[in-house]
Amino acid sequence: MDKSEAVAAALDIVKAQAGARSMSEDEILSMVKSIADGILAMADDCQCQDSEVAGGPVLDPKKAVREASIVCLECGRSFKVITKKHLASHNLSAEEYRAKHGYKKTQSLVCKSLVRERRAKMKDMKLWERRGLKAKMEGA
């Protein structure tokens, strides 16, 4: 973001503020300057963070899989599940992502709590018993 865009955004904010209450000319000028400076500072911080993220993994792959989330090691965003669609935005498949960051081929890209919930649900469904009953019925 350049300075003119920051000043334009600051003018819009101050204009709305001036419409809500009366402000002196000095107040308006100082508020525009401080808001524009703040917008530029935030834009600079965002650009610095983006360049750090693009440089490589945000954290250790072992620490990326957490209880309630999994962190994408490409962009640093947190998810419950890292989907194929998200990995496609990084031009990676799930297999390529696992290989790049040192995960086992069987490692699921899902947070720990969701894995536990899915495991419990499958255990409750007892699909192996249904399969056995179906085979007995067909054989009889």
Least Cα distance to 86 among 72, 98, 96 occurs for: 72
Which backbone phi and psi does 47 adopt, to 5 degrees?
A: -65, -40
Name the residue type at position 137.
Answer: M
Tokens of 126: 């007892």
Name the residue type at position 130.
Answer: R
Write the pLDDT tens digit of every residue in 11-69.
888 888 888 888 888 888 888 888 888 888 887 766 555 444 444 545 788 888 999 99
User: Is the pLDDT confidence value at 95 over 70?
Assistant: yes
**Confidence class for position 133, pLDDT limits 50, 70, 90:** confident
Q: Is the pTM of this model over 0.75?
A: no
